[in-house]
Amino acid sequence: MTKFLISFPASAMDVPAEDMPAVSDASRAVIREAKAAGVYVFGGGINSEVPSVMVAADGSCTSETYRETRELDGGFCVLELPSREVAVQWAAKLAAACRCAQELREFYYDPES
């Protein structure tokens, strides 16, 4: 089985505030379905209210990020699935629930993870 990252940036969710409870309910229903199917690994939303820090090998922290990830926000989940085709089906379910397109990325196989 392969692990897939399904995600979207916060800016992709252009949903009126009054619709957010329905979007939350729908997305949580998909996550519950993934858990019931035994394919859910982990998921959540990036807390944009807490600034990210860069941690060096010596443990020191600076208030910076990699340029490419400055705007890493939004929601994501990791599912363990038998094929890319099945991953596309789950991403489509989340796209419908969240009312925005989802990015789909595949993790490299690591026998220790």
Q: Indicate yes or no: pTM above 0.85.
A: yes
For residue range 56-105, what is the model confidence (pLDDT) as tens digits?
Answer: 999 999 998 888 887 788 999 999 999 999 999 999 999 999 999 999 99
6: domain CATH number?
3.30.70.1060
Cβ contacts of residue 67 below 8 Å, gap of 6+? none
Whether 112 is in a domain gets the answer: no
pLDDT, the chain, mean: 94
| Domain total in the chain | 1
Average pLDDT over residues 22-51: 95
Q: Residue 67 has which token pair?
A: 């340029």
Whether 113 is in a domain gets the answer: no
Whether 6 is in a domain gets the answer: yes
Cβ contacts of residue 52 below 8 Å, gap of 6+? 65, 72
Average pLDDT over residues 7-26: 93
Whether 38 is in a domain gets the answer: yes
pLDDT at 25: 96
Give me the domain span that covers residue 49.
2-106
Q: Which residue has the higher pLDDT, 29 or 48?
A: 29
